[in-house]
Amino acid sequence: LACSGAGPLCLVTMWLLLQSLLFLLACCLCSAAAFPKGCYPSEEEGLKTFRCSNAQLTEVPRDIPNDTNKLFLDSNRIPFLPRDAFQDLPLLLELDLSHNAIASVESGAFRGLAEHLHSLDLSSNRLVSVSKDAFSNLNAKVNLSNNPWLCDCRLQELIRTVDLVAGSSSGIVCGSSVEEEHVGKAFLQLIADTDFCNVYKKTTDIAMLVTMFGWFTMVISYLVYYVRQNQEDARRHLEYLKSLPSKQRRSEESSTISTVV
């Protein structure tokens, strides 16, 4: 309407402006459609951030911008971390996976993050046991608190491999243990007095000795039974021979003695 009396130049200008607005709108819609529902990019303190907090995710999203510096996947329902889950994020500095349902972390899940990642939060999940290989070459500060850990040699090796976030060690509590008295206690306090790997080795050695002793007992028992059975058969045969006529008895005794020898 503003261009109704201004000639064709104004109409062309308005047409170009409308095309630009439509193009920008299409770009925004395409960009939004590429991200899972509840996820959005932002910039915090000069760092490119991607937030998916409380997005009801059941897996790690695939369409995360590869220039992301801070990734928040907290408060979702992610059950496990597969191999190479973050391999396309070479510039990632912080990774928050807290308050999920993570019960399994595959070896190589954090592959590609060793060079830059300096913060990894796995607190408040369902981790019971994780191999130390899952964190190999990772230099990040790691938070493993508030998980139902099985306190054993594997956890001891894991704790000695990772660099824990300051103050988080008291939250690594035994959810289960071979020793019932350890349940509910902070693991780092326990390993100050107990070497779980040495206890495991002793238990394994004792089990092996018990197994070997069992087999040895079975072999000896069989040998004793075999000897006694043969002796009983020989005795019965000799008694039988004694009941025979003298000539036949001497012949059979000679045969029996040679057989026994």
CATH number at residue 171: 3.80.10.10
Instruction: State the pTM of this model.
Output: 0.66
**159, 186 Cβ separation under 8 angstroms:** no
Q: Do 112 and 225 reside in the same domain of the chain?
A: no
Q: What's the whole-number mean pLDDT along residues 52-63? A: 94
- Residue 173 is part of which domain span? 34-194
Question: What does the buried/exposed string (b/e) look like for 16-27 if buried means 16 or more CB atoms within 10 Å of the residue's CB?
Answer: eeeeeeeeeeee
In a domain, 186, yes or no: yes
125 and 56 both lie in a single domain: yes
The model's confidence at residue 241, banded by pLDDT at 50, 70 and 90, is low
pLDDT exceeds 80 at position 149:
yes
- pLDDT band of residue 22 (cuts 50, 70, 90) is low
Residues 114 and 230 in one domain: no
CA 135 – CA 40 distance, rounded (Å): 28
Same-domain check for residues 66 and 184: yes
Under the banding of pLDDT at 50, 70 and 90, the label for residue 201 is very low
The number of distinct structural domains making up the chain is: 2
**158 shares its domain with 132:** yes
Helical packing angle, 153-161 and 196-242, nearest 10°: 150
Q: Which two tokens stand for residue 238?
A: 């000799």
How many whole angstroms separate alpha carbon 104 and alpha carbon 110? 13
51 in any annotated domain = yes
Q: Is residue 16 part of a domain?
A: no
pLDDT digits (tens, 9 = 90+) for 120-137: 999 999 999 999 999 988
10 in any annotated domain? no
* Same-domain check for residues 190 and 204: no
Residue 20 has pLDDT above 70, yes or no: no
Mean pLDDT of 88-110: 97
Q: Point out the least confidently predicted range of 27-31, 43-47, 148-152.
A: 27-31
